[in-house]
Chain A
Amino acid sequence: MRIVVAMSGGVDSSVVAGLLHEQGHEVIGVTLQLYDHGAAIRKKGACCAGQDIHDARDVADRLGFAHYVIDAEQRFRDAVIQPFADSYAAGETPVPCISCNQSVKFTDLVKLSADLGAERLATGHYVRRTDTGGGAELHRAVDVARDQSWFLFATTQAQLDRCLFPLGDYPTKADVRAEAARFGLEVAAKPDSQDICFVPQGSYARVVGNLRPDAMLAGDIVTASGEVVGRHAGIANYTIGQAKRLGTAQVAGGRRVVVGLEAATMRVVVDTAPPGATTLALRDVNWLGPRGAMRCLVKLRSGEVAHAASVRVEGAEVFVDLDTPARAAPGQACVFYDGTRVLGGGFIRARVIDGGA
């Protein structure tokens, strides 16, 4: 069948293209130009860079299938970078990779694959998709260390039905690299991408400050009772739960952490680390299975151990009651799991019901 493969230029998506091409499918490689590399960053290892486009083209040329570069710069700015900066400036802890998957990758590329008459969109994500007859299911990757299912919880059922994730069954990354070597691809030894692709040297504050100068204005660091205990150089430098960069506001033993970021007054609120939240309110919930109240496991970060929890639906509101308190920051995702299967999830609202951070 005709399959569009989203190619970043890295080893994973290159192997996906190679495998599908080898299986006799008509592969169409597509690489998204997400930002002007020259004007943005010069950083090796970050994904979607200029060299990566050339690497993706080389793979397509070598293996012998069509490849196109899509100009998604404006769309990426509007759907990913600006909301990231706005969310950060509002004191949240956004996850731009999820908004990128939600918009540029799965919404736009699924539409593009349909426009090009392709039956499927394949990506190099480490997740498994299984067909059960009642619609596709999304599962954790076999390689737990590589698993990216947390980042894909917002993929809609309709999108999932059209997708392929051939790498989800590979036991280790070394096996994927071995496939790349078998195809004779130069990217076989290419380093993994690490950071958020559009953030140079991990400096979120600079990216946010460029788009939202208001988030780089100096202000007070205060305690929960309102006592001024220090100064800061912009709330973009802080996220909920952070213990660093508090200066004079920090106390012996580093026991104070950021518990609140007040965009309107530009105040950073600190307190001794709270025990964590037990109830989370979610927004923009996506369901990938049975909807409604359930007992399940949830993850508030991709790499963490899952927490036992109950999902509660009250009218249009969705709440999660954690069995034991956990650190939660507004803007982050709360993803529901049943064993390996992703059942959906949502973004944590600024209004965390109890326990603060």
Chain B
Amino acid sequence: MIYLDANASEPLRPEARAAMCAAMDVGGNPSSIHAGGRAARRLLEQARHQVARRFGVLAEAVIFTSGGTEADALAIHALAIQMSGERRRLIVGATEHDAIRAGAPGAEILPVGRDGVADLACLERLLAGAPALVCLMHANNETGTIQPIAEAARLCRAAGALLHVDAAQSAGRMEMDLAELGADSLAISGHKMGGPPGTGALLLAPRGAVTPMIRGGGQERGWRGGTQALPAIAGLGAACDVPVADMSPLRDRLERGVAAVVIARDAKRLGNTSCLALPGVAAQVQVMALDLAGIAVSAGAACSSGKVARSHVLDAMGLGTLAGEAIRVSLPWNVGAADIDGFVAAYQAMAQRLSRAAV
């Protein structure tokens, strides 16, 4: 199988695997007083420093969670409380992941252009109202489009608004620094950066009262109750030590090889992500045909039933029928040129067969 669905889940990096295996042999509860507890705590704090270093924050700003979704939910929960009273508002980007969209019901929607980039003039107008929490993703999971976070942060700051950034897709694929981005919080996901699933973190500069969603035993400085999943967290920490690689040469080789419409081609994009539309052929048929040819890609947002739902991301970009005809190809860290060429051959064969059938 040629695996080109890294944005769903990256293969585990060997560095993360080794750190996890070592942590499983340590065992213990980081909250315990004894030597075993201290050994576990040492590993936990080492991972916290690895994450902090990677994103340019203090270790105390790292709150480990069960994943990106929980980190997003905790950010919305915590930052919304910081805003005063009943006039607070939520503004979310139109192409946000469901972790944000479903976690912020009733939010005002910040529209995007055909390239998927948020309309900052519109953001400025929206911010003119009451105090707001703005959620804007760093890079989109379906198209790879990168949002102008620093500019959005300046607008938010000027208006007294707070900004949360879902960096699940960009965290392992771009260098970044929370202070440079200017955001108030950042969510990351372990398995999207070569760490294990079931782990993630919210990077939130300590400020104001601690307002957890899960109180429990007061772990994570009171922000997130529950004994930390040490092996998984150790894996996430190790993944944060791996330098970022530029995948765009391979991505460009792929895009040159296929006769497809490349969505958001001219936007600033993640180097590993291609959104390819084949006019007249339903996305789910493309995904099935490629799967049967031994190639793993995805389309839209796969819900738990396995049904491929229409992409709200591509709809928000105003792509019309193409929104139902595009697949996402996302290169994992261990992809090789042979994988790209294998994909191109399979895609071209499929396109020829299905485009003919569509006529």
Give 15 new A-B contacts, CB below 8 A, not counting A50-B305, A66-B292, A117-B292: A53-B305, A53-B307, A54-B305, A66-B288, A68-B284, A69-B307, A70-B284, A70-B307, A71-B284, A112-B285, A115-B289, A115-B354, A116-B288, A116-B289, A117-B289
Known: A115-B289, A116-B289, A116-B292. A57 touches B357 (CB 8 A): no
Give the distance in Å from the alpha carbon of A74 to the alpha carbon of B91 in the complex.
30
Contact with A along B270-313 (1 / 0, CB 8 A): 00000000000000110011011000000000000111111000
8 Å CB interface, A283-324 against B: none
Known: A114-B357, A115-B285. A69 touches B306 (CB 8 A): yes
Does the CB pair A53–B288 fall under 8 Å? no
Give the distance in Å from the alpha carbon of A111 to the alpha carbon of B357 in the complex.
9
B305 contacts across to A, CB distance below 8 A: 33, 50, 53-54, 69
Give the distance in Å from the alpha carbon of A58 to the alpha carbon of B306 in the complex.
12
Give the distance in Å from the alpha carbon of A70 to the alpha carbon of B324 in the complex.
13
Q: Is the CB of B353 closer than 8 A to any CB of chain A? A: yes
Does the CB pair A28–B357 fall under 8 Å? no
Give the distance in Å from the alpha carbon of A117 to the alpha carbon of B288 in the complex.
11
B307 contacts across to A, CB distance below 8 A: 33, 53, 69-71
Query: How far in angstroms is the closest Cβ of chain A from B281?
Result: 8
Q: Which residue of A lies closest to B349 (CB)?
A: A117
Query: A2, A71, A114, A115: which contacts B309 (Cβ < 8 A)?
Result: A71
Does the CB pair A115–B306 fall under 8 Å? no
8 Å CB interface, B321-359 against A: 353-354, 357
Query: How far in angstroms is the closest Cβ of chain B from A116?
Result: 6
Known: A68-B306, A115-B354. A28 touches B284 (CB 8 A): no
B310 contacts across to A, CB distance below 8 A: 71
Q: Which residue of A lies closest to B288 (CB)?
A: A68
Give the distance in Å from the alpha carbon of A54 to the alpha carbon of B305 in the complex.
7
Residues of B within 8 A of A (CB): 284-285, 288-289, 291-292, 305-310, 353-354, 357
Q: Which residue of B lies closest to A112 (CB)?
A: B285
A117 contacts across to B, CB distance below 8 A: 289, 292, 353
Question: Which of A2, A68, A71, A111 has most B Cβ within 10 Å?
Answer: A71
B353 contacts across to A, CB distance below 8 A: 115, 117
25 contacts between A and B (CB under 8 A): A2-B292, A28-B288, A28-B292, A33-B305, A50-B305, A53-B305, A53-B306, A57-B306, A66-B288, A67-B306, A68-B284, A68-B288, A68-B306, A69-B308, A70-B284, A71-B284, A111-B357, A112-B285, A115-B285, A115-B289, A115-B353, A115-B354, A116-B288, A116-B289, A117-B292
Contact with B along A101-113 (1 / 0, CB 8 A): 0000000000110
Does the CB pair B308–A71 fall under 8 Å? yes
Give the distance in Å from the alpha carbon of A112 to the alpha carbon of B358 in the complex.
11
Give the distance in Å from the alpha carbon of A2 to the alpha carbon of B289 in the complex.
12
Question: Which of B284, B289, B306, B310 has most A Cβ within 10 Å?
Answer: B306
Contact with B along A1-39 (1 / 0, CB 8 A): 010000000000000000000000000100001000000
A115 contacts across to B, CB distance below 8 A: 285, 289, 353-354, 357
Query: How far in angstroms is the closest Cβ of chain A from B230?
Result: 31
Q: Which residue of A lies closest to B310 (CB)?
A: A71
Give the distance in Å from the alpha carbon of A336 to the alpha carbon of B347 in the complex.
46
A53 contacts across to B, CB distance below 8 A: 305-307
B285 contacts across to A, CB distance below 8 A: 112, 115-116
Give the distance in Å from the alpha carbon of A116 to the alpha carbon of B308 in the complex.
17
